[in-house]
């Protein structure tokens, strides 16, 4: 019996009711499992010998039950491929045509917020993954430090220091599943703090703060970035200084100094979202704000824009007085971020394959940015294009332009949805992402955008 349970086979959980007989009970249990979706189309079932041994019935009973369900169309049986769950006919709901903008993906996707995921460096990632797994200690596969693997925290310490100007000792880095988790953990630790957030800014991030127990205060953004003099009674402020989202402005040096002065004088906290800081096109990337005041700034970064959101890897660089508290919040949130991806990213950084990928992406996105400017520059004012993966295109009537875009199958973002309190007096515009489309689809997407704007 020990050999049976440890052998190679397909596990199948069934609880036949033998009240009407063993064969009828087994047939009913199999039929119900298929109908309820617990056995999905294509699932391979155990051989009759193994199923009979598991359930304590004869092999003839198991075979008869399979044969009956094959006859009824629930199962298929082919020589050499075993017995499988048959494809089910589509439901009337599945056959009905879908309607509405949400029922179908856009033909042309120029929404902001995502990189070109088709450019993910699959070959380099696989090489890094193989090396990482081959050299990882056995303890790496167990529960780990809530701060994250030391290999990745050490690699990030070096990378962030040289590439972004961040003072990042490994002991003050916490690895997260992305920016949103980092913001949520920090809000929980701040425990009811009044958090100023840029206006305009991403509504989803405001909701993350509210759900974490913080109160949200709007702080205006102008052509020089966030306005520190408008922080009022805030305990903390969340900013995107390298490339403000969604206006695209870079925080002016005087504002950077004023912001850190505010934090020191008030004992406040600056939360720096460096979401696309590596992608600056016309000169060297602007260094992180954290380097000016590492004791007052929490730095948050991720691999979502450089590699892809699917990895779910982000990092927080924390002031000394917050490092332990955030690590404890992480422990009680999900214990720790998955390990294998951390090890692979550490290897990618240490081998400088990450740098090479970022540089290649920077060139690709700069070409896209230039193409956008060439196509639209004479038609509309295009702003915020010195860096990042999106641009702000001024339009007089968002609703009319977006209606035309929807009719053409074009998806773009709208500035109006980013204000804390939308109103008729708010500036309007399109937030156009040029990272999302695949390389071949991008020129046609721009042509459609130009058509929509010219209509």
Place 8 in a pLDDT band, splitting at 50, 70 and 90: very low
More confident of the two residues 3 and 434: 434
Place 310 in a pLDDT band, splitting at 50, 70 and 90: very high
Q: Model confidence over 392-404: pLDDT tens digits? A: 999 989 999 999 9
What share of the chain in percent tops pLDDT 90?
Answer: 75
Overall average pLDDT of the 296-311 stretch: 97
Provide the phi-psi class of 134: left if phi over 0, else alpha when psi is between -120 and 50, else beta: alpha
Does some domain include residue 91? no
Same domain for 201 and 339: yes
DSSP labels, 34-72: HHTTSS-TTPBPPPHHHHHHHHT--HHHHHHHHHHHHHH
Q: Model confidence over 317-366: pLDDT tens digits? A: 999 999 999 999 999 999 999 999 999 999 999 999 999 999 999 999 99
Overall average pLDDT of the 244-248 stretch: 96
Residue 81: the pLDDT is 76
Same domain for 138 and 114: no
Place 102 in a pLDDT band, splitting at 50, 70 and 90: very low
Place 164 in a pLDDT band, splitting at 50, 70 and 90: very high
pLDDT score of 428 more than 60: yes
User: Would you state the structure tokens that stand for residue 98, as one six-digit string?
Assistant: 């879908």
CATH number at residue 238: 3.40.640.10
Q: Model confidence over 166-184: pLDDT tens digits? A: 999 999 999 999 999 999 9
Same domain for 124 and 17: no
CATH number at residue 38: 1.10.10.10
Same domain for 279 and 146: yes
Overall average pLDDT of the 63-71 stretch: 89
Please identify, among 301, 325, 355, the residue that sits at the C-terminal boundary of a domain.
Answer: 355
Residue 104: the pLDDT is 66
Mean of the per-residue pLDDT values for the chain?
A: 91
Residue-range definition of the domain harbouring residue 63: 2-85
Does some domain include residue 341? yes
pLDDT score of 1 more than 80: no
Give dist(CA 345, CA 150) in Å, integer.
12
Please identify, among 355, 389, 414, the residue that sits at the C-terminal boundary of a domain.
Answer: 355
Same domain for 440 and 379: yes
User: Would you state the structure tokens that stand for residue 29, as one six-digit string?
Assistant: 């249990």
Burial class (CB in 10 A: 0-12, 13-18, 19+), 134: exposed
Same domain for 382 and 362: yes
> Total domain count for the chain?
3
Does some domain include residue 93? no
Residue 72: the pLDDT is 80
Burial class (CB in 10 A: 0-12, 13-18, 19+), 297: buried
pLDDT score of 105 more than 70: yes
Judged by average pLDDT, the poorest of 26-40, 151-165, 201-215, 403-417 is 26-40
Residue 186: the pLDDT is 98
CATH number at residue 361: 3.90.1150.10
What does pTM read for this prediction?
A: 0.84
Residue 198: the pLDDT is 98
pLDDT score of 103 more than 70: no
Please identify, among 307, 329, 355, the residue that sits at the C-terminal boundary of a domain.
Answer: 355
Query: Are the CB atoms for 212 and 329 separated by under 8 Å?
Result: no
Place 93 in a pLDDT band, splitting at 50, 70 and 90: very low
Does some domain include residue 96? no
Residue 90: the pLDDT is 53
Same domain for 409 and 346: no
Same domain for 339 and 203: yes
Residues in Cβ contact with 37 at an 8 Å cutoff, skipping those fewer than 6 apart: none
Residue 9: the pLDDT is 58
Does some domain include residue 389? yes
Q: Model confidence over 43-56: pLDDT tens digits? A: 999 988 888 888 88
Same domain for 206 and 143: yes
Does some domain include residue 97? no
Does some domain include residue 34? yes
Q: Model confidence over 171-217: pLDDT tens digits? A: 999 999 999 999 999 999 999 999 999 999 999 999 999 999 999 99
Does some domain include residue 361? yes
Same domain for 281 and 226: yes
Give dist(CA 54, CA 60) in Å, integer.
14
Same domain for 167 and 249: yes
More confident of the two residues 292 and 379: 292
More confident of the two residues 18 and 427: 427
Same domain for 175 and 69: no
């Amino acid at each position: 019996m020990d050999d049976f349970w440890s052998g190679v086979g397909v596990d199948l959980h069934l609880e036949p009711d033998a009240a009407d007989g063993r064969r009828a009970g087994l047939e009913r249990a199999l039929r119900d499992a298929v109908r309820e979706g617990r056995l999905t189309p294509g699932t391979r079932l155990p051989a009759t010998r193994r199923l009979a041994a598991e359930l304590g019935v004869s092999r003839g009973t198991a075979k008869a039950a399979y044969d009956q369900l094959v006859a009824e169309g629930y199962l298929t049986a082919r020589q050499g491929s075993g017995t499988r769950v048959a494809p089910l006919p589509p439901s009337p709901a599945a056959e009905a045509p879908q309607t509405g903008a949400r029922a179908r993906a856009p033909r042309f996707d120029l929404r902001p917020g995502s990189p070109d995921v088709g450019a993910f460096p699959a070959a380099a990632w696989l090489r890094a993954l193989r090396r990482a797994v081959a050299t990882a200690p056995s303890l790496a596969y167990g529960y780990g430090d809530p701060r994250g693997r030391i290999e990745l925290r050490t690699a990030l310490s070096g990378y962030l220091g040289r590439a972004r100007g961040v003072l990042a000792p490994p002991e003050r880095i916490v690895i997260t599943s992305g920016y949103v988790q980092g913001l949520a953990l920090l809000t929980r630790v701040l425990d009811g703090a009044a958090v100023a957030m840029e206006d305009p800014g991403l509504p989803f991030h405001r909701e993350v703060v509210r759900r974490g127990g913080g109160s949200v205060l709007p702080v205006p953004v102008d052509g020089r970035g966030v306005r520190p003099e408008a922080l009022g009674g805030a305990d903390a402020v969340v900013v995107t200084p390298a490339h403000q989202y969604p206006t695209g402005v870079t925080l002016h040096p005087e504002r950077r100094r004023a912001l850190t002065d505010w934090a020191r004088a008030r004992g406040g906290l600056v939360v720096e979202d460096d979401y696309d800081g590596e992608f600056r096109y016309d000169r060297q990337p602007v260094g992180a704000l954290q380097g000016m005041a590492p004791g007052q700034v929490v730095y948050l970064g991720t691999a979502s824009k450089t590699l892809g959101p699917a990895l779910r890897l982000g990092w927080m660089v924390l002031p000394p007085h917050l490092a332990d508290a955030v690590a404890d919040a992480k422990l009680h949130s999900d214990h720790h971020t998955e390990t294998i991806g951390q090890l692979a990213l550490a290897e990618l950084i240490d081998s400088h394959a990450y740098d090479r990928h970022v540089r290649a992406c920077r060139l690709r996105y700069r070409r896209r940015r230039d193409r956008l400017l060439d196509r639209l520059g004479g038609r509309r004012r295009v702003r915020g294009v010195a860096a990042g993966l999106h641009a702000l295109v001024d339009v007089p009537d968002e609703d009319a332009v977006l209606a035309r875009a929807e009719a053409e199958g074009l998806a773009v973002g709208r500035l109006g949805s980013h204000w804390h309190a939308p109103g008729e007096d708010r500036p309007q515009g399109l937030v156009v992402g040029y990272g999302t489309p695949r390389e071949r689809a991008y020129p046609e997407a721009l042509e459609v955008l130009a058509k929509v704007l010219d209509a």
